[in-house]
A and B are shown apart, each in its own frame.
Chain A
């Protein structure tokens, strides 16, 4: 970490994109609250991309906070841990917002629980030394991250240790920590950056040590001045660069952030790794510090509960596996005008119909919308105005892709590069004819016949 980079080659922004109403003021001012320990959690065995975990407990087994409930079943997999002290209640099945039926391990709380301020201190509090990275070998860091069950907390939930493991063919020079939180409404990452900048910096330095990166950059949208100041105040002599980037959706998409901050273009079908970058979310960075420095697994996360349809918007530290219902109840419940409950943000989040579903490691927020905000489906004909193409951060022509998908015309869909779409939602947002472009393209990608 000797190279102290003063200026970055990126321009701080990326071409196209959109400026939706940020609506962050609903919850940005609310300090992170700690959810009182629930009586019961249901921890899904697969909360990540990759193979599901293998169940490691039997009903009535006693567990403590941090006990392994399921072990990783391969390289691209992650273990899951109990966020409560108590007993394994039963092994069941749940349906996550993405529609997958998954086995869950239910844990019933018993005895004393870590709660309130103590829980906060255990996860984010205390001292986070920035000079300990050299004390660990890269292998030790990767092992601690893997055993801690860390997955990306920005939404995609890719197992973190896979990103950090060194790959001889693709050397990494930069760890890019993603603090953009470009989805409207969401403020959980913003609050973590403001209230716990130290573990983010410590975790980023450990990630750089593991991946062999010589620079650490934290990219934060410039609509979060407090978060930028808090991070800059916590970098010390570590050489970590805190970079403000333009507030624009989808700035937090890794392809966009790598371009904005570093001026590098991730190839289509490739990963940031192909241009020497590992991108991790700020909350994931903090979890890395906790896993490596304190040996604690990922059992809790901060999420935003917000939207005009919730009684009391808040940012809440919750145990993984608690139901949406309980978190919503903690925030005063749904207002009568609530018409949609979304897991995540309004652009890429998934609507949920069953509030008994458990929160997972990748749940960044619970957004409750009313009739006023939700997309109206009064579709009219495409007049080829080209606004979708002007908004597409990947330089695609969404109207062609969507209509080709609707008509199952895979030749045209391929000619216009349908596989390059990341489903960010910009095109659907801007379309004056209210055509569900992203939705149709998503369907087309799923139905596209193999070549």
Chain B
């Protein structure tokens, strides 16, 4: 029956065919999502500037530049892929890495951390979207292990600089010397710590922007903060490190920074809201285990990395059932 069509298609100048759908929402792109994360980081940056001054600008600047250089070197030069600097993902990684470092870290820590973040954290897996672990946290873990002295709890404290920089970080103080930090400085950020973590209010403001713009999802931060609050309450009742109350655990350390800016990285979190809730609970549990029972005062970085490793498993547990039930098996 079917033979060649008799009429040859009339050539239509400039009219082409393509499979549908033929229209697309162009108001939201991956680049825009990354830009929203950077906008969300702005208040954190401002708070870091207020507390640490030019140390903050220098550290974050070094990391962003190094991440861009690493992305260009590893992705475009070594793998011969088209340039991806414009998608801003390397800038986000650099900014988060920089803000997670102590003000006192020497310049080469940021550089090496950035190259490890982009190289081992991202490009080695195949680039953006393929990585299993949060790149910034991979970079930070790398330098943390490589330079334990300049990144340990002691590195934050400097007797030469007046003000908060001569004091121990709130969690270290609470854990090691049972010193109770006042809550108000913890909330506004007038305490010692990594560059981006000190101000709870700045993290909340920036995080709100990310959630409103849906550059990150609400479920992960909710689960992380909720889990930490519950476990911190249990610890307080159980008398473990009693100088750290629930609010100290929530406002101190990098909990809010981590929950809102690091754990929300979509690439390294599960696909569905159910999975993301489980993921958030995992992070919260890991954080509290490290904070309460390990030698480290803080555990957000290792908690995120550990939870990242469980994401493929969580995705398997949470394959959603189609609306009408599973596809019937043909008999």
The judgment on whether A and B are partners is yes
Q: Knowing A255-B323, A384-B266, A415-B319 are in contact, say whether A349-B271 is a contact too (CB < 8 A).
A: no
A340 proximity list for chain B (CB < 8 A): 15-18, 22
B182 at interface by CB-CB < 8 Å: no
A residues less than 8 Å from B266 (CB atoms)? 383-386
Chain B residues, CB < 8 A from A269: 324, 327-328
Interface positions, chain A 13-49, Cβ under 8 Å from B, are 15, 18, 20-21
Contact B22 A351 (CB under 8 A): yes
Q: Which of B5-38 contact A (CB under 8 A)?
A: 5-7, 9-10, 12, 14-26, 28-33
Q: Which of B95-103, B127-135, B143-151, B164-172 contacts A (4 or more CB under 8 A)?
A: B127-135
Tell me which residues across on chain B come within 8 A of A60, comparing CB atoms. none
Is A436 touching B19 in the complex (CB atoms < 8 A)?
A: yes
* Contact mask for chain B residues 289-331; partner A; CB cutoff 8 A; 1 contact, 0 none: 0000000000000000000000000000001111111111110
What's the least CB distance linking A387 to chain B, in Å?
A: 8
Residue from the list A373, A431, A432, A438 in contact with B20, Cβ < 8 A: A438
Given the contacts A395-B321, A432-B30, A346 and B20 also touching, CB distance less than 8 Å: yes
Min CB–CB distance B129 → chain A (angstroms): 4
- Contact (Cβ within 8 A) A353 B327: no
Residues of the A chain whose Cβ atoms lie less than 8 Å from the Cβ of B159? none
Q: Is the CB of B322 within 8 A of A93?
A: no
Most buried by B among A95, A376, A385: A385
A425: interface (CB < 8 Å): yes
A103 to B269, CA, bound (A): 53
**Cα distance A338–B17 in the bound complex, in angstroms:** 12
> Given the interface contacts A386-B271, A428-B24, A434-B24, does A439 sit within 8 Å of B19 by beta carbon?
yes
Which chain B residues in 48-107 approach chain A with CB under 8 Å? 87, 89
Indicate with 1 or 0, residue by residue over B266-279, a CB within 8 angstroms of chain A CB atoms. 11010110000000
Bound Cα distance from A325 to B9, whole angstroms = 11
Q: Quick one: which of A101, A348, A356, A383 contacts B10, CB cutoff 8 A?
A: A356
Whether the Cβ atoms of A389 and B272 lie closer than 8 Å is: yes
In the complex, which residue of chain A has the Cβ closest to the Cβ of B21?
A: A425
Q: Is the CB of B129 within 8 A of A383?
A: yes
Question: With A341-B15, A356-B10 in contact, is A348–B326 under 8 Å at CB?
Answer: no
Q: Which of B5, B16, B18, B323 has the most CB of A within 10 A?
A: B323
- Chain A contact residue count (CB 8 A cutoff): 82
Q: Is A1 engaged at the interface, CB distance under 8 Å to the other chain? A: no
Partner pick for A266 among B18, B321, B324, CB 8 A cutoff: B324
- Give a binary string over A291-322; 1 marks a CB under 8 Å from any B CB, 0 the rest: 00000000000000000000000000000000
How many chain B residues have a CB neighbour from A under 8 Å? 54
Q: Which of B28, B272, B324, B325 has most chain A Cβ within 10 Å? A: B324
B130→A430 contact, CB < 8 A = no
1/0 contact trace for A38-70 toward B, CB 8 Å? Answer: 000000000000001000000000000000000
Stretch of A116-124, A139-147, A209-217, A396-404 at the chain-chain interface: A396-404
Interface string of A332-351 (1 = CB under 8 A from B): 00100011111000111111
CB proximity of A245 to chain B, nearest CB, Å: 17
Are B23 and A394 in contact, with the CB atoms below 8 A? no
Q: Cβ of B237 < 8 Å from any Cβ of A?
A: no
Q: How far is the CB of A59 from chain B (nearest CB, A)?
A: 14
The complex places the Cα of A437 from the Cα of B131 at a distance, in Å, of 20
A393 to B322, CA, bound (A): 9
Residues of B within 8 A of A230 (CB): none
Partner-A contacts on B (CB < 8 A): 1-7, 9-10, 12, 14-26, 28-33, 87, 89, 127-130, 214, 217, 266-267, 269, 271-272, 319-330
27 residue pairs A–B, Cβ–Cβ below 8 Å: A21-B23, A94-B5, A94-B7, A101-B5, A265-B325, A267-B325, A268-B322, A269-B328, A338-B15, A339-B15, A340-B16, A342-B22, A354-B7, A367-B22, A369-B23, A381-B129, A384-B267, A386-B217, A386-B266, A387-B28, A414-B327, A429-B25, A433-B29, A433-B30, A436-B19, A438-B20, A451-B329
Top 4 closest A-B pairs, CB basis? A425-B21, A354-B9, A381-B129, A268-B324
Could you list 16 further interchain pairs (A-B, Cβ under 8 angstroms) beyond the known A384-B266, A439-B19? Answer: A20-B25, A52-B1, A101-B4, A266-B324, A340-B15, A347-B22, A348-B21, A351-B16, A373-B23, A375-B18, A375-B21, A381-B129, A396-B320, A417-B326, A425-B21, A433-B29
Q: What residues make up the interface of A, taking CB atoms closer than 8 Å to B? A: 15, 18, 20-21, 52, 92-95, 100-103, 184, 255, 259, 265-270, 325, 334, 338-342, 346-356, 367, 369, 373-377, 380-387, 389, 393-397, 399-400, 414-417, 419-420, 425, 428-434, 436, 438-439, 442, 451
